[in-house]
Structure 1
């Protein structure tokens, strides 16, 4: 049997090492935050972030994708299988009982089944995915190519970007940063999260970044209607 983990169904994909701030207003998830804060022992105070296949199903107070969907409304086929835990790093309780929290992605998991036992918030049986091993020679060779493609892409997208002010040395960290930052569809981000290793993720990112840079260059250089170059946008 796998581990039982509280989960947030969100309209975004969380990657290990990336920061995710959330505004918690629904009572059942206030309860989750209180339970995590009250937890004891050395275990990390974390919950799972699982991406909804359709961002429109995310329920928020303001209409933004920063709050979990109603647990009773979520079925397994509405969720992607692979998620990432969010570890609590900062919790601010507001006067009306809501919370502003800051989390950091920690470890990947696969959802085996939604937990049928009654809980105040959604829980699932999960299995932990293996930690990615230290980058080998192939990853070390791929990382500079991906970084160069990412710089080209960002220069075309937003030249004043500060994303690469501090470039991570580790190929795995770089692969997660690129996946979380590039303007990709939810499916593309999810595929990158579920990639079995850093090499696979970097190769996929190199292909995606070259595609995106080519598209941006065409939009700037060719006077054609944008609709002719349209593709689905990420709801993130």
Structure 2
């Protein structure tokens, strides 16, 4: 039997090491936060972020607290690879809502989901193997992918600031690029599910080369670079 994990379905893809702030207003997710805070110090204070295949988990406006509960999300509506979000900061607001800051921690595969045992969705998951930081292929690929990423950013927003702080670890770099580049949810999800860092970097090199080629031809920017930051979930 796999591990049982609270699950938060979202319309975005979370990567290990990346920061994800959330505003929690639905009662079921307030309960989730309270349950996590109540766990003992030696237990990980984390929940699973799994991307919805279509749409968004939050269907109403932020201020609509009286809406009826949404139908439970089923496994078929979710991608099967997710990433845990570890609580780093929790601020409870006077009305019972929470502002939380989380950081992506570890990847997992969803085996099954259940909506009967808790107000929020839970899933049986298996942990994906940690990626090998000493992979020589990844270390050779990383500088090439970083160069392609810089070229892509220069074409996307010529007047943007230079990318100064770059992680040395190829795995961290691969996650940063996957979360920052202007990609579809499907493309991000494929990168999250890559079996290892070298595979992710190879795929990113292909995508960045393709996108840079398109940008160089049309000399048009689809969206401002500032719009590419990970969106804050309205929930």
TM-score, scaled to structure 2: 0.87
* Partner residue in 2 for 1:47: 47
Relative distance call for 1:162 and 1:218 in structure 2 (3 A) is same
Q: How does 1:132-147 map to 2 (within 5 A)?
A: 132-147=131-146
CA drift at 1:117: 3.9
* Partner residue in 2 for 1:185: 184
The superposition leaves residues 122-148 of structure 1 with CA deviations (integer Å, 9 ceiling, x where unpaired) of 101000001111232211110000000
* Partner residue in 1 for 2:211: 212
Cα RMSD (Å) of the superposition? 2.1
Asked if the contact 1:4–1:115 (Cα under 8 Å) also holds between the matched residues in 2, the reply is no
Q: Which runs of 5+ in 1 are unaligned?
A: 64-69, 227-234
Relative distance call for 1:74 and 1:116 in structure 2 (3 A) is closer
CA drift at 1:160: 4.4
Asked if the contact 1:92–1:99 (Cα under 8 Å) also holds between the matched residues in 2, the reply is yes
Once residues 162 and 20 of structure 1 are traced to their aligned partners in structure 2, the CA distance between those partners, rounded to angstroms, is 23
* Partner residue in 2 for 1:96: 95
Which structure exhibits the higher relative contact order, with contacts defined as CA atoms closer than 8 Å and separated by 6 or more residues? Answer: 2
Once residues 87 and 75 of structure 2 are traced to their aligned partners in structure 1, the CA distance between those partners, rounded to angstroms, is 25
Partner-residue secondary structure (3-state), 1:72: coil
Partner-residue secondary structure (3-state), 1:103: strand
Once residues 199 and 132 of structure 1 are traced to their aligned partners in structure 2, the CA distance between those partners, rounded to angstroms, is 10
List structure 1 segments (4+ residues) > 6 angstroms apart after TM superposition: none
Asked if the contact 1:9–1:58 (Cα under 8 Å) also holds between the matched residues in 2, the reply is no
The superposition leaves residues 34-69 of structure 1 with CA deviations (integer Å, 9 ceiling, x where unpaired) of 111111131210000000001245435349xxxxxx
* Partner residue in 2 for 1:229: none
The superposition leaves residues 141-200 of structure 1 with CA deviations (integer Å, 9 ceiling, x where unpaired) of 100000000000011112344583210000000000000000101010000000000000
Asked if the contact 1:110–1:127 (Cα under 8 Å) also holds between the matched residues in 2, the reply is yes
TM-score, scaled to structure 1: 0.87
Once residues 162 and 4 of structure 2 are traced to their aligned partners in structure 1, the CA distance between those partners, rounded to angstroms, is 35
Matched, 1:122 2:124: no
Asked if the contact 2:25–2:62 (Cα under 8 Å) also holds between the matched residues in 1, the reply is no
Once residues 212 and 218 of structure 1 are traced to their aligned partners in structure 2, the CA distance between those partners, rounded to angstroms, is 10
Name the count of aligned residue pairs: 219
* Partner residue in 2 for 1:72: 71
Matched, 1:26 2:36: no
